Amino acid sequence: MSEDKHFRRALVLGLVISALLIGVGFWQSITMGIVCLVGCGALLAIFCLYTRNRIREIRRLSDYLTTLVNGTAPLLVPANNQEGELSILENNIYKTARKLQTQAELMQKDKTYLADALADVSHQLKTPITSMTVMTDLLLEEDLPAEKRLEFLKGISAQLEKMQWMITTLLKISKFDAGTAVLHKEPVELAAVVEQALAPFIIQAELRQMTLAVDCRQGQFLGDRLWTVEAVQNIVKNCLEHMDNGGTLRLTGTQTALYCRLVIADDGCGIEKEDLPHIFERFYKGKNAGADSVGVGLALSKSVLNRENATVEVQSTVGVGTTFTIRFYRNII
């Protein structure tokens, strides 16, 4: 190795200098020569021991780095806690290796997450695509009655709307996962959020003879109005899907010194106890999920509210109803 070559050169140079000093010493006197001989010998011995130990440590670190690169070595805590350049180097190697290991683990988790996400998306798209394929084949039949043809066309349109909504929602969720979603911090009136969130469901509620009871006269927080509307809409949509005709959906807003609170309560079928911890998970469908449920709306709501320094809690009783409680916390310095 190159270290051995440098060591040999330094040793030869030391021997030459020592020989000269010893020669000069004996030329002066025998006593001086003996002193030079003993001194130079001791210095050369110390030099050899120090250099050999240093080369051994460098080789150990080099071998350890090689095994790390090959992925065959465990990540060990530095054994050399003494002061010195090699100790500093060893600690820096450990820190770098630890950081690389953490990055590798995160990359592996990302790969696993991506594979699972692709599998979930493929599974969710498979059903509507299969349904549309069957209806398209039936539409090609020349003797198909006009009313059946119209029914199948409406069915295809409904499936396309479902797919479009799911893909759009997944794209929004992916922005939050990647940290690229932009949320603006501005004063937001809770009443305005609720009014805008309920707007798409007013006609549906009237047709199903549902009551939308709103009491949000007070409440303000710092957040992004549009994203908050999206989060509330998905929760309202989930509630309405699990309510019978003639039911009541209540939205109540309150303000405290610590947070602005929005309570969304329905009198629907409720959520099973074992499903409650999972309702905000992507593609999760509980026992009472509707046939058209996809399982991404509440996941998006959770992502939005987390970014807004807000929390959402769920309480539900089967046969009685479900209550979502959202708290937008104030930034107190």
Give the tens place of pLDDT for each residue, 208-267: 999 999 998 778 899 999 999 999 999 999 899 889 999 999 999 999 989 999 999 999
What domain range includes position 151? 115-178
Mean pLDDT for the chain overall: 82
Q: Tell me the average pLDDT across 53-62.
A: 76
Same domain? 168 vs 220: no
Same domain? 242 vs 271: yes
The residue out of 131, 156, 178 marking a domain boundary is 178
Q: Which residue has the higher pLDDT, 289 or 42?
A: 42
Same domain? 65 vs 123: no
284-323 exposure pattern, b = at least 16 Cβ within 10 A, e = fewer: bebebbeeebbbbbbbbbbbbbebbbbebebebeeeebbb
Q: What is the model's pTM?
A: 0.64
The residue out of 150, 178, 206 marking a domain boundary is 178
Please check whether residue 246 lies inside any domain of the structure: yes
Give the closest residue to 49 by CA, choosing from 11, 2, 82, 17: 11
**Residue 43 corresponds to which amino acid?**
L
Strand partners, 323: 265, 315
Same domain? 190 vs 140: no
Same domain? 207 vs 319: yes
Q: Could you tell me which residues come within 8 angstroms of residue 300 by beta carbon, excluding any fewer than 6 positions away?
A: 169, 172, 173, 176, 230, 231, 234
Same domain? 201 vs 172: no
Please check whether residue 273 lies inside any domain of the structure: yes
Q: How many domains does the chain have?
A: 3
Same domain? 228 vs 149: no
Please check whether residue 58 lies inside any domain of the structure: yes
Same domain? 146 vs 205: no
304 in helix, strand or coil? helix
The residue out of 74, 105, 125 marking a domain boundary is 74
Please check whether residue 89 lies inside any domain of the structure: no
Confidence of residue 73 (pLDDT cuts 50, 70, 90): low
Same domain? 195 vs 320: yes
Residue 5 pLDDT greater than 80, yes or no: no
Strands 211-215 and 186-189: unpaired
Instruction: Assign 3-state DSSP to the chain and report helix, strand, coil percentages, each to 5.
Output: 60, 15, 25
Same domain? 142 vs 38: no
SS (H, E, C) 234-298: HHHHHHHHCCCCCCEEEEEEEECCCEEEEEEEECCCCCCCCCHHHCCCCCCCCCCCCCCCCCCHH
Please check whether residue 85 lies inside any domain of the structure: no
Q: Tell me the average pLDDT across 98-116.
A: 79
Contact status, residue 211 vs residue 178, Cβ threshold 8 Å: no
Same domain? 283 vs 245: yes
pLDDT reported for residue 192: 93
